[in-house]
Amino acid sequence: MVTYAIIDGSDKFAIDSLGRVTLRQSLPQGRYTARIRASDGGVPSKSTDEALTVIIGETAPDTECPQFASGSLSRSVTILETQSPEVCVYDATMLLD
């Protein structure tokens, strides 16, 4: 079983048992970062960390879905400033693939 944790940035982000990242509250425009850890239940246990940058702005690209820019161990997502906190902004389930 894979477990997920926010190891840096937990004051602004939450992650559930399925790896879905949400905002803890509405945030003003800006760039916010978090570090996510995915760990398996093996012996020995394996884990991987990934940096996530959430950019909140007045406008997003020509889509209502979050936009991701991928890197080796970092991700960036752009969302609207009006995004509700309970809406998933990132799905970390791909970390251990």
pLDDT digits (tens, 9 = 90+) for 38-74: 898 889 989 988 888 888 876 555 444 444 444 445 5
Instruction: Detail the DSSP E strand segments found in 16-97.
Output: 20-23, 30-39, 47-57, 67-70, 74-80, 90-91
- pLDDT at residue 18 in the model: 83
Dist CA 17 CA 24 (whole Å)? 16
Dist CA 46 CA 38 (whole Å)? 8
- Tell whether the model's pLDDT for residue 33 goes beyond 80: yes
Q: Quick one: tokens of 24?
A: 């803890």
- pLDDT at residue 65 in the model: 45
Hey, where are the domains in the chain?
3-94
Q: Quick one: tokens of 97?
A: 């693939």
Exposure string of 51-78, with b = 16+ CB inside 10 Å and e = fewer, is bbbbbbeeebeeeeebeeeeeeeebbbb
Least confident of 1-5, 10-14, 79-83: 79-83
Dist CA 75 CA 85 (whole Å)? 19
pTM reported for the whole predicted model: 0.68
- pLDDT at residue 72 in the model: 46
